[in-house]
A = this chain, B = another copy of it.
């Protein structure tokens, strides 16, 4: 099968997540990067395109959307890997140009931007995919299937955390990654937006439930920081379940500590992103089992489809990201049942609800606020 054609907005030299998207798109051979508006700085855009061997280098994403839409061999989809406050404009431009959008998370820096994307995406037939990449891990899919099939019984507890330490100290002005993430105008929020949304989304993906209410205590531990770098959040579900969500970028010793624990009235499970090939599953009164990726105990077809090599050969972050690109390709190609698991607009809107709710609760001294559902 011929690879689909991919364009990219953002992701020029010095960026982090753009390179990840490129590897993810390439890994399973379903995508070929052919065009880009890789930077808002024309020189950097040009240099970045040359480095990547891209012939079709655009100085501007609007121009790119129009030009690519007009070509016979135009791109099938665009990857938007810009800072949060530059998601809405390119997303809308490509959606309107009839080009599918694969957008980095979170959906947007503001509720207004989110609403604009929503309006465009709902009005148009083009697909919108949001790269909540951790949903691509096979053992997360295994967990999802087990939880939603009731293997843990009635859901009681969701303990999710995403702990990092890279923002422990004030960041240098030339730290491109930290720069926009700690600027409220460009990021919308701090740890809750950057990683809290991942934790929130992962819990939702696995349990199928969204908390109806939350109460948040947000902190900026680093003096002078303008956004939260630590978030302590309590969750309540309409079903009676309860949860805790911790997101931190100042927890020294944690690199990318996304951990999920789910408990029902008959069982529990644990998973950690840094050791993603293992899922710990406990039935009440029975020994904990270590279910491994690729083994016969990985019974979920969704997990099997997201798995490439036999058990014991670790798959990691790039593979889980690549799975989202594969499923986007399947969706665009119109395969039967495709895109069922792809995070998209609704996940993005829930993420914005989560961030808005957390900011609102924090302003109200941690009062319980309703999470707007979609």
Contact = CB atoms under 8 A, between A and B. Distances in A.
Interface of A: 1-2, 16, 19-20, 22-23, 26-29, 53, 152, 156-157, 159, 164-166, 168-169, 215, 217, 219, 221-222, 230, 232, 234, 236, 240, 242-244, 246, 248, 250-257, 261, 263-270, 273-277, 280-292, 294-297, 308-319, 365-368
Q: Kindly report how many copies of this chain are found in the complex they form together.
A: 4
B253 A312 contact: no
Contacts of A16: 310
Contact of A234 (B234, B242, B310): B234
A5 to B, nearest CB: 14
Contacts of A277: 274, 316
A282 B244 contact: no
Contacts of A20: 309
A171 to B, nearest CB: 13
A243 B366 CA distance: 14
A256 B289 contact: no
Given A23-B29, A366-B366, 11 more contacts: A23-B27, A166-B310, A253-B269, A253-B270, A255-B292, A255-B295, A256-B313, A275-B314, A287-B297, A316-B319, A365-B368
A266 B290 contact: no
17 contacts: A19-B308, A23-B308, A156-B230, A217-B234, A222-B265, A230-B242, A250-B263, A252-B268, A256-B311, A273-B313, A275-B314, A281-B287, A287-B289, A287-B290, A308-B318, A314-B314, A316-B319
A312 B274 contact: yes
A2 B53 contact: yes
A280 B261 contact: no
B246 A318 contact: no
B230 A232 contact: no
A150 to B, nearest CB: 14
A147 to B, nearest CB: 12
Contacts of A215: 215, 217, 234, 366
The 4 residue pairs across chains A and B that have the minimum distance between CB atoms: A255-B312, A256-B312, A253-B282, A314-B316
A315 B312 contact: no
A246 B248 contact: no
Contact of A289 (B217, B222, B263, B289): B289
A277 B256 CA distance: 12
In terms of DSSP, what is the predominant structure of the interface of chain A?
Answer: loop
A280 B253 CA distance: 9
A245 to B, nearest CB: 10
A287 B159 CA distance: 24
Contacts of A23: 27-29, 308
Instruction: Tell me which of A246, A255, A266 has the highest count of chain B C-beta atoms within 10 A of its own C-beta.
Output: A255
A266 B252 contact: yes
Contacts of A318: 27, 308-309, 313, 315, 318-319
B292 A290 contact: no
A240 B319 CA distance: 40
Contact of A295 (B157, B263, B280, B287): B287
Contacts of A314: 273-276, 314, 316-317
A322 to B, nearest CB: 9
Instruction: Tell me which of A243, A253, A297 has the highest count of chain B C-beta atoms within 10 A of its own C-beta.
Output: A253
Contacts of A221: 156-157, 240, 265
Contacts of A276: 314
B284 A268 contact: no
